């Protein structure tokens, strides 16, 4: 029990820092999560399977991605410490996901099942606030992703990442960064070589 409470502290701190809530309210929500470890490249959600958990990353990073019919991977989203990740459409609808989620690095996570999430959601205004914020941020993030992919050329996408989210550039391999930016590894190498 003591070990689990240490693991939930980061989620409690996140909730208290980002929402109007007491430490007790944050503790109740955090206690609904279970501790999970994932090895590098471990798949947390498989394409064609229902996303049963919402994950909060304590340590490490994870990616959500699609694989097209040619076998090419496109990363939709990357999350690191103190961020949530799920196949949100699959999780909220409890239908098969059309994407994968896997660990980019060895991860320590907190996971809440869909049934537990719905139970706590009906009782906790804090979890409702968190859910609304997650949905809003997902919409804004997806809008930003579409806009940058449509409006910025490959060089400007990379420069934008350096300016706005250097952590992605520093922590992702060239393969994952190029997949996230929607460019080839060769293009990314050329762009980096000119810097």
Across the range 122-130, mean pLDDT stands at 93
Strand partners, 77: 64
- Predicted confidence at residue 5, as pLDDT, reads 60
User: pTM here?
Assistant: 0.90
Whether 184 has a pLDDT exceeding 60, the answer reads yes
In this prediction, residue 151 has a pLDDT band, given cuts at 50, 70 and 90, of confident
* Selection from 76, 65, 59 nearest residue 101 by Cα: 65
Whether 149 has a pLDDT exceeding 70, the answer reads yes
Q: Which two tokens stand for residue 105?
A: 């690095």
For the chain, list the domains and their CATH numbers. 2-122 (2.60.120.10)
Give CA–CA dist 176/161, Å, rounded.
13
Across the range 7-12, mean pLDDT stands at 89
Q: How many CA atoms lie within 13 A of 35 on its CB side?
A: 13
Which pLDDT tens digit goes with each residue over 40-97? 999 999 999 999 999 999 999 999 999 999 988 999 999 999 999 999 999 999 999 9
Q: Count the Cβ atoms, other than its own, within 10 Å of residue 28.
A: 18
Q: What is the mean pLDDT of the chain?
A: 91
Alpha helices in 19-53 (DSSP H): 23-30
């Amino acid at each position: 029990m003591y070990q689990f409470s240490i693991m939930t502290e980061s989620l409690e701190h996140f909730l208290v820092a980002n929402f109007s809530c007491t430490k007790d309210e944050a503790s109740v929500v955090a206690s609904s999560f279970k501790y999970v470890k994932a090895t590098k490249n471990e798949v947390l959600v498989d394409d064609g399977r229902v996303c049963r958990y919402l994950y909060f990353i304590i340590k490490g990073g994870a990616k959500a991605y699609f694989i097209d019919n040619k076998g090419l991977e496109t990363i939709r989203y990357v999350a690191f410490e103190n961020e949530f990740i799920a196949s949100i459409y699959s999780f909220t609808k409890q239908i098969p996901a059309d994407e994968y989620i896997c660990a980019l690095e060895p991860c320590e996570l907190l996971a809440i099942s869909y049934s537990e999430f719905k139970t706590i959601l009906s009782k906790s205004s804090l979890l409702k606030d968190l859910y609304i914020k997650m949905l809003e941020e997902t919409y804004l993030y997806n809008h930003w992703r579409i806009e940058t992919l449509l409006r910025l050329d490959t060089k400007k996408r990379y420069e934008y990442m350096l300016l706005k989210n250097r952590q992605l550039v520093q922590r992702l391999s060239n393969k994952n960064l190029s997949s996230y930016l929607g460019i080839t590894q060769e293009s990314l190498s050329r762009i980096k070589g000119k810097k």
